[in-house]
Chain A
């Protein structure tokens, strides 16, 4: 008989007023007792609606069944069939709009904490993992992967396990993509990402950092001179957008990418760090996605007294994960909703001293199916801040496109692929993740990497 408690087991977390001063992980993870109790809330519906909500169709009911039976490693293996990064996805997936949105328990009460259970089994698995290397015999074929974010890592793992010699080329000095330079430590500890990368290395994946494809080497050189038979482009969507309002080049205006890279990749929050960051008193973050939440919560932890989220729509439209919005509120982030900046004002030394905004209201539906924000008349107000972080989106970097002849892209920069296979307009070159979709999610990027691995295997076998 299932546990019919309407509420899910709450996630243990650090106290908000403690954690907003440190960088340790906020959510602490279920204990075994909590995990067993939560697993027992699953009804094992015949039609498995949760599975259809999962972008990579993890067999959710059967991994939960394994938890109930206390066969935790087997539960992990069920997830691993469909996902390469369970410990990451369990933490950062927007479950409330995916698997958990479809959970029958959510109709009257709260859905089963699927993401939390996923994280529980993945963390247990990683605690146990042995140090041995996995020897897969080399199948004689070389594949190059460009970019070491979730998409590249997933593709590399699947190919290496089949005996391909896989090399990942990464522009930065550290592998992991957004998982290391974007998403903060307090949400996704870097040692978890490192674990995933170490596992790939055990399978023989070679990771070449500090190589910018399109500059250091081109895709054609990889194929023609270096013997790679297929390429997977997983370069993400790293180009930050600005608003193009007056004052954006003042000192104290950051793109979220810059602010988060200084924090996460360069560890500028540590006192002995050699990379500087502004320690501002009052910070405004413009935007409403996960990136905005991460930037705001990082700024708070860096010591800012007041941190605002300035977003032009209302609470309902906030695209960030629900849990992150809740955590941000608990930590004292102030939400200035239905507000939009129009000008940034500087002092005589060219540092930010404030931001002029206008209030917005929601009008007609726009193309995205959301109500379009329009400016309220005579609603101008001034926000007294000394640092502004722009988190209004990113697009794919044009570098690969401009250096790879015949590679078709969308007008906005996304690489054009065949949805079924991930193949681009050039034979032997595949692409996936944010480089194709524009800024999206870890799970979609990971799924695209797995799909490309399958297609690359077929492509090489049929050559």
Chain B
């Protein structure tokens, strides 16, 4: 059982929680994740560690409400407890030896991109952060990003804030203007990471993406998180979640992420209905 110390709504569909987990807080590094269950019969879901505080013994998670489990999670309040919380899992992001990077976050992926930008900034690296959202209301972590970035650029699909368009457009403009990066970190929807990787490939810039496939155990035991990277099968939970974006087979990853789509939709509707009844 792990207590929720703090809960904060970042926008209509994205919530931040600080969870009491002293052992995990001590070990966590950017790029790693936890697996949690909300209740005794709940599903196991992976969430990336957005921040950690070894002194306070807390770990921050940021999640978008996309399915039944995140819906239930969002219904918990401060001082409630999670049934299970295990981590830190996965290999930490490799952030050494860099001078100048672009960190690209898409939607809730910004929650994962932020600790990376922060750590790089702490290491004295020049960070250009490019973040993308569907519209202005969905923007998260703006102040946090600004604090750790030399350049901070927002793109929205509808142009309601920042540049109208996609993060790839912003990145391409910067590259065309002659910006040079040692590495690009791209974290967000699979389709975004795919197109960022295609773009950076033409410029031959090393690109790291953070994969978030369906998982169960998170320890290498089931293989359901497997991906094809450079033609070789890798388990995202133990070999990743970071991989070379130029090597990942995104199309298969996109198909695999849809494996249980109809089940997930049904469960979410059931859960919403249940909460709705309770609220009335």
Contacts and interface: CB of A to CB of B under 8 A. Distances in A.
Interface of A: 171-173, 181, 209-212, 215-217, 238-240, 242, 244, 248-249, 251, 254-255, 257-258, 261-262, 266-267, 272-276, 278, 349-350, 397-399
B217 interface: yes
A251 B86 contact: no
A217 B256 contact: no
Nearest to B89: A215
A172 B216 CA distance: 10
A273 B84 CA distance: 17
B219 to A, nearest CB: 5
Interface stretch (B7-15, B117-125, B223-231): B223-231
Given A249-B252, A262-B216, A274 B221 contact: no
B224 A211 contact: no
Contact of A275 (B43, B84, B221): B43
Given A350-B252, A399-B238, A258 B222 contact: yes
Nearest to B84: A173
Contacts of A267: 41
B219 A249 contact: no
Contacts of A209: 84
A240 B88 contact: no
Interface string B42-57: 1110000000000000
Nearest to A273: B41
Contacts of B260: 276
Contacts, number: 104
Interface in B2-60: 23-24, 27, 37, 41-44
A184 to B, nearest CB: 16
A122 to B, nearest CB: 28
Interface residues of B, number: 40
Per DSSP, chain A at the interface is loop
B219 A258 contact: no
Interface string B205-242: 00000000000110111111011100001000010000
B85 A210 contact: yes
A281 to B, nearest CB: 16
Contacts of B220: 238-239, 397-399
Interface string B239-276: 00000000001001001101110011001000000000
9 contacts: A211-B86, A216-B24, A239-B220, A258-B216, A275-B43, A397-B219, A398-B220, A399-B219, A399-B220
A257 B221 contact: yes
Given A173-B84, A267-B41, A249 B228 contact: yes
A276 B42 CA distance: 11
Given A249-B228, A251-B256, A399-B219, A274 B68 contact: yes
Nearest to A265: B216
Contacts of A251: 255-256, 258-259
A257 B224 CA distance: 9
